Amino acid sequence: MKCCSKPIRHWSPLLAIGAGALTLTGWVQTPSGSQDPDPNTDLVQRIERIETYLQTQAKSVRATNRALNQAVEEGFTAGINFRSRETLIQAWKAQNQAALKGVPGSKAGKDQTLEK
């Protein structure tokens, strides 16, 4: 059997592993066009961007929680079928609390609460 007679999908994992290995060993140039002398620099920059993104999301979660509290104060849960709206508020708050748990780049405890 010829080496190239197999469908390309069988080669995809090998190509991906090879490309990853070449990138990690520095044989492939970075997108900026120059070889990065420190292979950890790109990784550190990516982590910093991810932490910044997640901190922004955490701020948004807290703002959503403040809006939920204000909606409750303004009577959102009052009226006919009020229990459905209470259930909805509780679910949103639980989702918000879960979104703040273990946010990378945050200080344990204070940064992981809804009030801030």
Flag whether 79 is in a domain.
Answer: yes
Residue 27's pLDDT is 53
Evaluate whether residue 9 is within a structural domain. no
Q: Is residue 21 part of a domain?
A: no
Give the separation between CA 19 and CA 37, rounded to whole angstroms.
Answer: 18
Could you tell me the residue range of the domain that residue 69 belongs to? Answer: 38-116
In a domain, 82, yes or no: yes
For the stretch 33-67, pLDDT in tens is 556 567 788 899 889 999 999 999 999 999 999 99
Give helix 39-73 / helix 82-100 axis angle, nearest 10°. 160
Assess if residue 60 is contained within a domain.
yes
Flag whether 107 is in a domain.
Answer: yes
Is 16 a member of any domain? no
Look-up of token digits 């204070």: 110
How far apart CA 91 and CA 83 sit, in angstroms, is: 12
pLDDT of res. 101 = 86
> What predicted TM-score, i.e. pTM, was given to this entire model?
0.54
The answer to whether residues 50 and 104 touch, using CB atoms and an 8 Å cutoff, is yes
Q: Is residue 26 part of a domain?
A: no
Cβ proximity of 51 and 104 under 8 Å = yes
